[in-house]
Homo-oligomer: A and B are copies of this chain.
């Protein structure tokens, strides 16, 4: 009774006294089978613990798996994971499963990881581009595999993408600060997510330029050194002879660091983060929030659409952000 092997269609067919094709019909719900034989087949299958082999089925049906791949740099980033959750939810509705792979934020491994996934014949590829060139995917795209960039568009590749309205979102946040009188506003960011940080920095500059502030370089701290804690960056900024009266953060890690630095002091410096986080509401921290889950769902939907409608023109979707004022962003500058 131990180490028995798996039952196949043929085994079930033999036991039920029918042909294997009939068993196939029962399990793939295609063609018609009489009530009676169907029952016999199901009984035989039950007895043998038969489970159809999706691998073989997929091979026969065109050589593609019933999976969609999502490639990300780092799974421990909560943002990434919420996106994955969104993708999974949407895929489940279509009977597809999600396969997940990470690149450890290393551009070199991206191609390797993606290649392995494509060898598995995933139906579609969703990725947060980390390498700065995705042209290596052009061949695959022409073969009809939907490719979707999330959070940043793929480079050198015509593909679907879903990104946030980064520039507008940040501009809106900074405008809310200039509206209550702030002019000296710090921008901090520590991330290699070049695209999003560039966009948000641009939005920050947009808003300041609108009120006649052009020399913003002195307030910009775009450290890409992961060993430098954002907390200290903020502290140093506040310890300047002429410190900023408000600070905005470019992403969730910078936000967390800034909050750490600000919790140490009297709340006299205004602050707005990018990306909401647990307890931000309880702490009265204003943020530019967005729906990561939605980002994932949209990405999955784009992939599914492309699958249903091959050759459709790639779409670039921008998802809105919203400014959540909870106090920290409403502190006026000292008069």
Show the binding face of A for B, using Cβ within 8 Å: 1-6, 49, 51-56, 58-59, 63-67, 75-76, 78, 81-82, 84-85, 88-89, 92, 95, 97-102, 115-121, 139, 142-144, 256, 259-260, 263, 277-279, 281-283, 293, 311
Give every chain B residue within 8 A of A53 (Cβ-Cβ). 59, 63, 119, 121
Copies of chain A in the complex: 2
Q: Tell me whether B99 and A99 are in contact (CB under 8 A).
A: yes
Q: Kindly list chain B residues whose C-beta atoms are within 8 Å of the C-beta of A120.
A: 54-55, 65-67, 97
Contacts of A82 in B (CB 8 A): 76
Task: Report the bound CA distance from A81 to B70 in whole Å.
Answer: 14
Taken together as a complex, chains A and B put the C-alpha atoms of A117 and B52 apart, in Å, by 11
CB < 8 Å neighbour of A121 from B55, B121, B144? B55
Ranked nearest first, the 5 interchain pairs of A and B with the lowest CB-CB distance are A75-B85, A81-B81, A260-B282, A54-B119, A54-B120
**Contact indicator A263/B277 (Cβ below 8 Å):** no
Nearest-Cβ distance from residue A259 to partner chain B, whole angstroms:
6
A-B residue pairs in contact (CB < 8 Å), sample of 25? A2-B142, A3-B311, A51-B115, A51-B118, A53-B63, A54-B119, A55-B55, A55-B58, A55-B63, A55-B65, A55-B120, A55-B121, A65-B120, A67-B120, A75-B81, A76-B293, A78-B78, A84-B100, A99-B99, A256-B279, A259-B279, A260-B282, A278-B278, A279-B279, A279-B283
CB-based contact A263/B283 at 8 Å: yes
List of B residues within 8 angstroms of A58 by Cβ: 55
How many angstroms between the C-alpha atoms of A139 and B49 in the bound complex? 7
Q: Check A63 against B67 for contact (C-beta < 8 Å).
A: no
Contact across chains for A75 and B100 when beta carbons are under 8 A apart? no
Nearest chain B CB to A244's CB is how many angstroms away? 21
Pair B59/A56 contact, Cβ less than 8 Å: yes
